[in-house]
Amino acid sequence: MTPILETKNLHHVYSDGTPFRHEALKGVDFAVQRGEFLALIGHTGSGKSTLVQHLNALLKPTDGQVLFDGKDIWSDKAFTRAVRFRVGLVFQYPEYQLFEETVFADIAFGPKNMGLDRDEIDARVRRAAEFVGLSEKALRKSPFDLSGGNRRRAAIAGVIAMEPDVLILDEPTAGLDPYGSEQLLENLRRWQAAQNSAVVMVTHSMEEAAACASRLVVMADGAVKMQGEPKAVFAHAAELERLGLDVPQITKVFLRLRELGMDVDTSVFTVEQAKAALLKRGEGAPC
């Protein structure tokens, strides 16, 4: 099956021909399958934000292609614009892009630009608000009267309301407290399941990636370095650390255990997995 989104040998150079020339992407081959939850991981400057902006045609490749459903997104103008709506992009700290008088109007901005009719817009706004957990009362408020966490939700709802086939989020939980992050991720998972859309989450946090995604893509230095199921990627924990990534605490503990001479599987990354692995070892015989 054709992936919903695919890049082929994607290159991007910023400020070409000036002393500030910077090659951000160096031949990225990357694909998003329909309906999958994918986490894109990399440290600052790895090129992940640049990649993401190519996926909905905000940036034009210096070289290479971006295909949506098998078709080059730059092949014609109407298609490029259509792709903007089918690939939703939520930027980092999206709450700073809110501008309307009410939360409702702000969420409706995207659907309105799509040229949908009133009833459809109304229905979509309400559906989106429900998914992110905003109440009916919150919809009538000014976005600036909401709490920080709810402003973030409103901004994400604004993209969800376009009902894209692929939803990309650049560090959606940055700055939220652990509880707020957990809830937001839960909402996203629920949306992805209900909508059967693909979700691409850009994150620094391996814990988060491991908790939500079915597949991880690790970027470094403008290229894809590793990809696969979380377990397979975390099996290379030592290499992840070398790439400047923060591996989950539990993985760190297990890496150390191995160094201490214990024969343990270092691909564990959650408390449950670790507990199961250790209990199996101890065969339920506490000392």
Partner 1 sequence: MSNTAFTIQNLRFSYPGAEDMPDTPVFDGLNLTIEEGSFVAVVGHNGCGKSTLAKLLNAVLLPCGGSVIAYGMDTKDEKLLLAIRKRVGMVFQNPDNQIVSNVVEEDVAFAPENLGVEPAEIRKRVDDALRRVGMYEYRNHAPHLLSGGQKQRIAIAGVLAMQPKCIVLDEPTAMLDPQGRKEVLETIERLCRESGMTVVLITHHMDEAIRADRVIVMTSGKVIADGKPGEVFSRVELLRENRLTAPDTAQLLYELNREGYSLALDALSPEACAQTLAKAFKV
Partner 2 sequence: MLKDITLGQYFPGDTALHRLDPRTKTILVIVYIVALFLAVSYVSYAVLLAALAAAIAVSKVRPKVLLKSLKPILILMVLTAVLNLFYTRGTDVLVSFWIITITREGLENAVFMLLRIAMLILGTFLLTYTTSPISLTDGLERLLRPLKKIRVPVHELSMMMCIALRFIPTLLEETDKIISAQKARGADFETGNLIRRAKALIPILVPLFISSFRRADELATAMECRCYHGGEGRTKMKELRYARADAIAFALGGALLAVTIVLRTMGL
For partner 2, which is the closer residue by CB, 112 or 231?
112
Q: Is 222 a residue that touches partner 1 (CB under 8 A)? A: no
Kindly indicate which of the ranges 126-134, 155-163, 215-223, 261-269 contains the residues binding partner 2, using the contact rule CB under 8 A. Answer: 155-163
Residue 102 carries which side chain, given as an amino acid letter?
A: T
Q: Would you state the structure tokens that stand for residue 187, as one six-digit string?
A: 């909402």
- What beta strand segments (E) does 174-243 contain? 198-203, 215-220, 223-228
d(CA 287, CA 127): 54
CB of 132 to partner 2, least distance (A): 15
Q: What is the 3-state secondary structure (H, E, C) of 53-97?
A: HHHCCCCCCCEEEEEECCEECCCCHHHHHHHHHHEEEECCCHHHH
What is the full DSSP assignment across 28-55? EEEEE-TT-EEEEE--TTSSHHHHHHHH
- By a kind-dependent CB cut-off of 5 to 8 A, residue 162 interacts, out of partner 1, partner 2, none, with partner 2
Should residue 94 be labelled a site residue for partner 1 when binding is judged by CB under 8 A?
no
Tell me which of 29, 136, 177, 229 binds partner 1, using CB under 8 A: 177
Task: Give yes or no for residue 43 binding partner 1 (CB under 8 A).
Answer: yes
Binding of partner 1 by 274 (CB under 8 A): yes
Nearer to partner 1, 111 or 149 (CB): 149
Contact 155, 175 (CB under 8 A): no
> Using CB under 8 A, which of 4, 89, 157, 185 touches partner 2?
89
User: What are the residues binding partner 2 (CB under 8 A)?
Assistant: 14-15, 18, 20, 53, 56, 58, 81, 84-85, 88-89, 91, 94, 96-99, 109-110, 113-114, 144, 158-159, 162
